[in-house]
Structures are given as C-alpha cells and as structure tokens.
Chain A
Amino acid sequence: MTATEFALRTDGVGKRYRKGWALRDCTLALPAGGVIALVGPNGAGKTTLLRLVVGLLAPSTGTVEVLGHDVTASTPHTLSRIGFLAQDHPLYKRFTVAEMLRFGRACNLRFDQGLAERRLAKLDIPLDRRAGTLSGGQQAQVALALALAKRPDLLVLDEPVASLDPLARHEFLQVLMGAVAEGGVTVLFSSHVVHELERVCDHLVVLNRGRVTLTGDIDTLLTEHRLLVGPRTATDLDRAGTVVEAVHSDRHTTLLVRDGAIPTAPGWQAQPISLEDLVLAYLRRPSEPGAAVTSEVAAWRG
C-alpha cells in the first residue's frame, strides 16, 4: 500500500496539555473509503485526536498524515480536502443560512453551492433564516451541508449526533450515509455510544484514557473474537496472551478470547460476541500502559 491509500496515518502521536497527556502513543493506519468509528468514553481523547487529524491542534509528539500529506503544514490544498464538523456543530449564529454558504464559498478552493442548496431545500431549511434561530437538528444539517459542499476526501465529525434528539439523529445519519453511498468520501466520526455502530461503520478505533486499545475492520474483529463459556476455573487460562477478559460466576467462567477461532477445548462452548460487548470489554481493561496491552497491540498489527 502506498501512503495515499490511507485516509489517515498517525505515528506515535501524543498530545500534552498543561494538565497532562490527553493522547499518547497513538499509531493508526486507517484505509481510505468507508466509515470509521472512533469510540471511547468521555474524556478518552477523541476530540483531541480528531482536532489533530484536521490540523486544529499540533501534536506534541509524532506525526499525523492525512491523505498522504502532513496535516500540520496546513496548505490550502490539504485543508480543502478535509471536511470537519466540530462538536455541537458551531455556526456563525448571526449569519443567515445563505450567508453561511457564502462563507463556505469565500473560504474554499472548491465549494459546491448547488449541492448544498439542494440538500438544504430537501430538508426544508430556509436560506434566509439566521443560523442561531434554527433547531439543533437543522443547525447540524447546515453544518453538514457546508462540510459536504467542500466535496472533501475525508470528512471528520466529532460526536455529530450526541446533542440531537432521536428523530434529528436518524435524519442526520441518513443524510450522512447517503453522502457516503454517493462515494469518494472517507468518514471518520467519534461517538461515545456504541449502539447502532455496527449498522453504519466498517472500521473501528477504540480509545480509552488517551490510548488506542483496539483498532481494526469490524467484520474481522468480530470473527477473531469469541466468548468461551466453561466450568469455573481459577487457573491461568491465557494461551499465548489471547484472553482479553475473564469473568467468573459461581459455576462458570466466561472468557473473551482473540484466537482466530482455534478449536475449542472439551467442556467449553464458543459463542460469537456482539460489537457492543466487544467494545465494552476493551474499555473495562486496565488502561495503564502494561506490557500485555502494548505487546498485543503490536501483535494485532502484524
């Protein structure tokens, strides 16, 4: 693979604020095309990572490469290929919707005004209304239309639906997925809700306390991981570091293993795991930079 086939590559990226590290040792290689979900609890470093990706922040360590270019250079060319929708989808509240579009046109190399107007017309959002007077869902749609009108190669969205009601959330995702279906755009979005991701996403990155704990293609991850249920045992079951989590009840032991589905030992039953349970299991793991986590991360990459 050449560099340009990756939508995003980070190498040892860390970001330190005055309070401490928000992100450490983040090494990712995310393929172009498709939808990538960045999942983690609040305060995991999702916003920091996304701001690094779009060049709003500079990394304290490491490098960020977007679409084959160093993003910290902030050239108009690179900036015009990235669309960004910040958390709470900020707009200039006193601008009318038409003025927001004019802002997009004035500040970009390419801007598909017609596309934006068609999208907004379809959603019955009047162009002469002030952005601040629109509902939250409509503001999100205007911000999305603005980002999509750039015809970006990478669209980055920070918690795009977190502040929306269920109906607006549904409509937003519908428009977003419609844009993905039209092709050509890689979408990277963050969420602290794991629910429903499976339907929408191709690729997963789990972030916990500033570190990447799991990354990969969702289908592959689900095939590689299994739940093994067997008689309760206290002995060390970890064959070659494949056990992600062990839960013991009175009679049974449930193991989450990443073993690529090698044959099950007698007395044990194998079950597939849901994406939500998988993510939760990784989030429950101790996040201190223990040797096991690091080595496994290295092993997964191989």
Chain B
Amino acid sequence: MAWLIWRQHRTEVCVLGLLVGLFGIALLVLGTQAHDLFPGGPARCAGAAGADEACTASFRRLDEQYGFVENLLAAFYLVPVVIGAFLGAPLLARELEDGTWQLAWTQAVPRMRWLAVKLAALAGVTVALTGIFTAVLTWFRQPFDAWEGRFQYDAFDLEGLVPVAYALFAFGVATAAGAILRRSLPAFGVAFGAFLAARMLVALLARPAYATPLTTTEPISVGGAKDRSVAGFADWTIEHGYADATGRRLSATEYYDLEDAADRAGTNLNQFLHARGIQQFGVYHPADRFWTFQFIEAALFVAVAAVLIGVVVWRVRRRLI
C-alpha cells in the first residue's frame, strides 16, 4: 500500500514539497537578515517601539527593508489551504473520475483499509508540510510580532496551530467534495471556497467571541496624544471610543458634535474633552490569550474536518460510492 500511495500521489507531494522548500529557504534567508537588525533578539524589543531608541531604529529599518515581505505574507494564509485541498481532492475523486475505484476495491485489500491508509498518509503529509511551513513563517515573523503583536489577521492566521487546522479543514472538504462530485478540480474549488467563507465568518464573528473581552476606561489626559490606544501594543483591540463622565458610550455623531463645539470655542480638543469628563474606553483581548485562541480556533476547524472525513468513511463503508 505504501508504494501505491507514493506512486499515485508523488506528483502532488513533490510539487508541494518543492513549493514549501523554496518559500522556506527564501524566508530563512530574509528572516536571518531581519533578525540581525535586532542585536539582542527581537523579543527584547517587544513593545519598545517609540520608547527605546535602538529598538525604534531597528523597527524602522525592519519596516523599510522587509515591510514588503510582511505584506506579501498576508496572502500566505492560503498556502495551507492549497496544500490540504491539493492532497485531498484527488484522493477519491480521481479514482471515481477514471473508474479505477472498481480496480482498487476489487483487489484483496478491503476498501476500509485502503481508505484508512490513504487518509492517514495524505493527512499526515498535509500536517507535515503545513507544520514545516508554519514553523518557518512563525520564526520569520518574530521581529514583526515584537512590533505589532500576534493578534493581527496577518499574524494570527499564519502562526502557531491554526494553519495546520486550516490545512486539515481544506483536506477534509476536498476529500468529501471529491467523493460526492466525483471530480478533482471542482472538489479543489469547493474546498477553496468553503475555506474562504468559513475563515471570514470565523475571523469576523466567532474569533472575537472565544472569550469575554476586557474593557478599560481612562480619562483623557490634557497633554496626551489624541487617539492613543488604550490597550497594549500586542493586545487585540475589538472596539475603542469615547464615553461621558457617567460611562455612557458616545455615538460618532455625539463625538463629532463635541469636536465642533471645541472648534467653535477655539480650545484644544483634549482640554475641552477633559474638562467635560469625557473618557476613552477600549474593548480588547489581552496578548496572553494568543494560545487559548489558537487552540479554540484550531479545534473548531479540525472538528469540522473530522466530521467531513466521517461522512466520507460512512459513504465508503455503506458502499454509496
């Protein structure tokens, strides 16, 4: 069986391995240079942008020289999906397309064993490739994380556990779609579309609700910079705005009315707001929730993948294919 799986899927595995290898080497080279901008290591500068002179200079150079890479990487959250879907789509669909399922399942290997070995092998390759890719990417992003935290969309979705979960999700959708549609290419497309939809819903609606966000409120300082974030640099701010002295949140219109009033009175806005007891509030998830959130999101996607694989196993077992 091992030889058969290798022979049938070696093209996909080689192409994906090559891609991951090339990206990995490029990231290692660029990443080494980016890390060298921080003599004491990027972690020492965490949150020190604007405070520590050396760190501020390092961050500025990081942005100038490697900012473009970070922007490119924002699209890399799709790489795990490509890996998973590319390996999952042909698993059953190609056999059904070519009629070779009738060949494969009439040899002496019972179909359930055939399916179990195939699923385990290809899901294993999916995890291994995504794992390597994510490990390199997570390391590459260390200087950027020290600057911006790990809760932004271009960090959270690329680091830690969730990319592997995304890949398994795509693998599950592609395998199930292949079993039902009996075509590889549409199955690949379905996996891609399903991931984009699921990830958007999760990132916008579910992720902020994994835990109850914290709220801080502080009075507006007379001399402070306007719109200074209330939460820490690495925290994930869900919402921030202004509240009156009683703590009631102001609508945008109410705030603009205050701004106009300050303009008309010809006073400094901060002083104007401070005098009226207006406070700033921030709703946020603290940075140390990163791993909790990673676990929850990974579990969510892996659970859906497991259900879809369960459907495939059930269909093959009941001989509905």
Contact = CB atoms under 8 A, between A and B. Distances in A.
Interface of A: 51, 54-58, 72, 74-77, 79-80, 82-84, 86-88, 90-93, 95, 99, 102-104, 106-109, 143, 146, 150
A92 B8 contact: yes
7 interchain residue pairs of minimum CB distance: A90-B99, A107-B107, A86-B102, A80-B108, A84-B106, A58-B319, A76-B108
B103 interface: yes
Contact of B103 (A51, A55, A58, A86): A86
A249 to B, nearest CB: 47
Given A74-B111, A92-B8, A106-B1, A57 B106 contact: no
B239 interface: no
Interface of B: 1, 3-4, 7-8, 98-112, 318-319
A80 B110 CA distance: 10
Chain A CB within 10 Å, residue with most, of B1, B103, B110, B111: B103
A66 to B, nearest CB: 12
Contacts of B104: 107
B108 A109 contact: yes
Nearest to B98: A90
Contact of A79 (B98, B101, B110, B318): B110
Given A56-B105, A79-B110, A102-B3, A86 B319 contact: no
Nearest to B317: A58
Nearest to B112: A74
Contacts of B8: 92
Contact of A75 (B1, B99, B100, B110): B110
Nearest to A104: B107
Given A74-B110, A82-B106, A106-B4, A56 B98 contact: no
Contacts of A75: 110
A167 B229 CA distance: 83
Contacts of A72: 319
Nearest to B2: A106
Chain A CB within 10 Å, residue with most, of B3, B8, B105, B108: B108
A7 to B, nearest CB: 16
> Helix, strand, loop or mixed for chain A's interface?
loop
Contact of A86 (B99, B107, B112): B99
B106 A90 contact: no
Given A86-B102, A106-B4, A107-B1, A57 B319 contact: yes
Given A55-B106, A87-B99, A92-B98, 14 more contacts: A55-B105, A55-B319, A56-B101, A56-B106, A84-B102, A86-B102, A86-B103, A91-B103, A92-B100, A93-B98, A95-B7, A103-B107, A107-B108, A146-B103
A128 to B, nearest CB: 15
A93 B95 CA distance: 11
A79 B108 contact: yes
B102 A108 contact: no
A79 B113 CA distance: 13
Contact of B3 (A55, A80, A106): A106
Nearest to A95: B7
A107 to B, nearest CB: 4
B94 to A, nearest CB: 9
A179 to B, nearest CB: 17
A248 B239 CA distance: 91
B319 A90 contact: no
A75 B104 CA distance: 14
A93 B94 CA distance: 11
A58 B108 contact: no
Contacts of A82: 106
